[in-house]
Structure formats: structure tokens, C-alpha cells
Amino acid sequence: MIYPKARRRHVRKDADPWSGVALAGLGLELAPLEPLCRAGWEPLVFRMAVLVDAIRGEGGATGREVTELRRWATAWATVRPDIRKFYVDTVADLHPSDPYDIAAVKAALYRMLNGGTELQGWQHGRIRRLWTARYGTNPSIDLTPLPT
């Protein structure tokens, strides 16, 4: 009888080995990001796909990637719930035909999650316009708070 060759799994050379217990704990740490991932924010979806590959044994995640996701989860959990809901709903409703809205939301999320630089004026304007279109009032809060 001829046996098929065992399928070799591709593992990144820079990936760290993760145990099932460590991955389960990591899943709990990253839970605050789940709504934003489900809404389809591409930078997060891509990073989470890397972790899913690691769980399946088909790839791996570097310590740097995991640290970044942990930092994002911590920062996202500190954002006011109404602002989180606004961004999750806005990401889910963004249409590819308006690249300026996409760019403004992406910049705002990166600022909130990474503590980046101040948004440009047009980006603030787009975010405020999206808030007003969604809720019918001007925002009375900072829509791009820095992580604490």
C-alpha cells in the first residue's frame, strides 16, 4: 500500500510557539476587539487571521504581533462605550466608494489604539460628519480619545 506523504505545515521562522492554554488566555485578553473585528475593520481582521492560523498550526504569530493586539485590546476597552459603538457601526456601514471616510475612520482608530498623532482637519471633519449623519446631533465629546 502506498501512503500519502504527510502534509508539511508552513510555520513562519519568526513565529513564537504557543500552547493551547496560552492561546485560550490570549483569546480572553483580546475579547474587547471582537465587535470591531466582526464589523470588518481590515487591519484587525488580518491580524486576527494570523492568530487563527497559529491556532490551527498553519502559521504563527510573533511576540510583537501579539503584544500589539494586547495593546489594542487594552486601549479599545478604555474607550467610552458610545464611541466604541459608533466606530463599530460606522466600520460595518462604510462603503468602498468613499475612500475619504475609510481613511478618516482608519486614522481615528489607529490614533485611539496606538496613541498616534493628532488627526488632520479634514479627518476630524469626516468623523464629525459621520457622527452627525448617524445620530442627528453634533458630537459633544472627543471622538478620537488617546489611550489611557
- Whether 61 and 50 have beta carbons less than 8 Å apart is answered as yes
Q: What is the pLDDT of residue 6?
A: 40
CA angle, 41 then 46 then 125, to 5°:
30
* Placement of cell 510555520 in the chain: 11
> Is the confidence at residue 12, as pLDDT, over 50?
yes
Q: Are 118 and 83 in contact (CB under 8 A)?
A: no
Q: How confident is the model at residue 28 (pLDDT cuts 50, 70, 90)?
A: confident
Q: Tell the burial category of 127 from Cβ atoms under 10 Å away from its Cβ (0-12, 13-18, 19+).
A: buried
- The model's pLDDT over 41-58, given as tens digits with 9 standing for 90+, comes to 999 999 888 887 777 777
Which cell is 12 given?
513562519
At 3, the pLDDT band (50, 70, 90 cuts) reads very low
Residue 16 phi/psi, 5-degree rounding, is -95, 140
Q: Reply yes or no on whether the pLDDT at 1 is more than 60.
A: no
Average pLDDT, integer, range 116-127? 89
pLDDT tens, position by position, 72-106 = 999 999 999 999 999 999 999 998 888 999 999 99
pTM reported for the whole predicted model? 0.81
pLDDT in tens, 127-146: 999 999 999 999 988 898 87
